């Protein structure tokens, strides 16, 4: 409207205050300790105090922004009352105590001295990784602790203890989700995907390792392309491929006289297969690259000795190739399992959990609880359960991997 005054959005100084405190305090303490030289424990304690103050200010700001967003989004939350101020206070208090304790434990423990000595000896190295560490703090640790706190609240911001976890693990008849069915689908999804990734990747690596194959470098580049393309773009491409009317998948089946398949319709297995094919396409190049690098490190003398002993190709693969591939494949399988277990993009973009959320895995089910059902506490509890499952899996596989490494040492 002509002549109307435009109201400028005020700049909230509290948003920048934590970063200013952290930056100026860190620079001051670092320069003071580097040029003047004081005891490491004093410098460490000062840094810990500055980090704690900056962290609690940042957390308070994040909590305020989150609450402002939830209150302003009345169209998304028509039936949820506005959170009370004690939610903000509780989040700030819990995170403040956690971060202060972590800072004191770290900076006052024995590793603090060696840590400060390393900073003084190689300041440029730590200056280079400082942005990544700050990014990890802001993007990973702070949201994680906020999720831990939200898992013990209801939608009104009231503390309800373990009720969200009980509703997930021991669902009532009116529950909106079945954790154990979704867990079974997630395990089947992970096992099938990782198995296909390893088998296809290892097979292609063995083929590309053959000296009789011409144009090996070209094939290597082409086979890495699926891994280089962002997975959400690949997921949308495969969703088009599985389109019932215009997709190339049904066009290919028509060449053999088969009728069209409603891949993304009401069938669980066709939706699951579409997700599986898409993620297999995304995942096998990683295993191929790892296997190919490990194959090139195997001495050819071992194969020559096996041939002299009369070993067949299968015997060479079983007794020479496979044992020497294990140290490289085990970490790749662990990473691949974690990535596949949390492969949100493929399931969400290809099948969308259809039919009736049955192809959802745990991570997409947690998102549904958050985005569709607006149950933030249960979504946070779901995320913590996923974290606990992967933590146990990683600990067990690491123990097994170390046991295997001791065999080959």
Domains belonging to the chain, first-starting first, are 13-150 (no CATH), 179-408 (1.10.3720.10)
Q: Which are the contacts of 381, defined by CB distance < 8 A and separation ≥ 6? A: 151, 164, 165, 168
Q: Which are the contacts of 307, defined by CB distance < 8 A and separation ≥ 6? A: 316
What pLDDT does residue 42 have?
56
Please determine, for residue 338, whether its predicted confidence score (pLDDT) is greater than 80.
yes
Provide the token pair at 63. Answer: 């909590």
> pLDDT for 53-103, tens place per residue?
555 555 555 555 555 555 555 444 444 444 444 444 444 445 445 555 555
> pLDDT for 210-220, tens place per residue?
888 888 889 99
Mark 167-205 as b/e (b = at least 16 C-beta within 10 Å). bbeeeeeeeebebeebbebbeebbebbbebbbebbbebb
Cis? peptide before 143, omega within 30° of 0: no
Q: Which DSSP string corresponds to 21-67?
A: HHHHHHHHHHHHHHHT---HHHHHHHHHHHHHHHHHHHHHHHHHHHH
Q: How confident is the model at residue 159 (pLDDT cuts 50, 70, 90)?
A: confident
Provide the token pair at 240. Answer: 């088009």
User: What pTM was estimated for this model as a whole?
Assistant: 0.71
Q: Are 278 and 234 in contact (CB under 8 A)?
A: yes
Q: How far apart are CA 15 and CA 72, in angstroms?
A: 18
> pLDDT for 84-98, tens place per residue?
444 444 444 454 455
Q: Are 340 and 362 in contact (CB under 8 A)?
A: no
What pLDDT does residue 282 have?
95
Q: Are 279 and 267 in contact (CB under 8 A)?
A: no
| Position with higher pLDDT, 112 vs 207 | 207
């Amino acid at each position: 409207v002509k002549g109307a005054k435009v109201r400028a959005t005020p700049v909230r100084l509290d948003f920048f205050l934590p970063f200013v405190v952290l930056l100026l305090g860190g620079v001051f303490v670092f320069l003071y300790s580097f040029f003047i030289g004081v005891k490491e424990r004093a410098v460490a304690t000062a840094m810990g105090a500055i980090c704690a103050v900056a962290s609690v200010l940042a957390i308070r700001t994040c909590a305020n922004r989150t609450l402002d967003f939830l209150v302003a989004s009345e169209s998304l939350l028509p039936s949820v009352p506005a959170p009370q101020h004690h939610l903000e206070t509780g989040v700030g208090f819990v995170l403040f105590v956690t971060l202060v304790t972590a800072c004191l434990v770290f900076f006052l423990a024995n590793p603090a001295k060696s840590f400060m000595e390393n900073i003084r000896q190689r300041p440029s190295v730590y200056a280079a990784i400082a942005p990544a560490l700050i990014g990890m703090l802001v993007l990973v640790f702070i949201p994680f602790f906020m999720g831990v706190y939200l898992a013990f609240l209801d939608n009104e911001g009231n503390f309800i203890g373990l009720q969200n976890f009980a509703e997930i693990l021991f669902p009532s008849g009116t529950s909106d989700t079945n954790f154990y069915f979704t867990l079974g689908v997630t395990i089947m999804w992970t096992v099938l995907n990782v198995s296909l990734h390893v088998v296809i990747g290892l097979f292609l690596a063995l083929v590309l390792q053959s000296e009789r194959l011409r144009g090996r470098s070209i094939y290597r580049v082409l086979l890495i392309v699926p891994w280089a393309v962002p997975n959400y773009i690949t997921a949308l491409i495969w969703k088009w491929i599985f389109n019932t009317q215009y997709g190339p998948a049904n066009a290919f089946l028509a060449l053999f006289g088969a009728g069209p398949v409603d891949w993304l319709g009401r069938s669980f297995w066709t939706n699951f297969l579409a997700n599986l094919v898409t993620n297999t396409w995304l995942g096998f190049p990683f295993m191929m690259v790892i296997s190919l690098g490990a194959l090139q490190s195997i001495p050819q003398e071992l194969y020559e000795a096996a041939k002299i002993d009369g070993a067949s190709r299968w015997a060479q693969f079983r007794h020479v190739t496979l044992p020497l591939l294990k140290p490289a494949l085990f970490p790749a399988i662990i990473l691949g399992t974690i990535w596949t277990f949390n492969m949100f993009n493929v399931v969400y973009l290809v099948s969308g959990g259809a039919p009736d959320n049955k192809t959802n895995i745990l991570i997409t089910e947690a998102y549904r609880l958050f985005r569709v059902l607006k149950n933030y506490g249960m979504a946070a509890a779901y995320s913590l359960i996923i974290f606990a499952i992967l933590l146990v899996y990683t600990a067990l596989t690491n123990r097994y991997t170390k046991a295997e490494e001791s065999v080959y040492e």
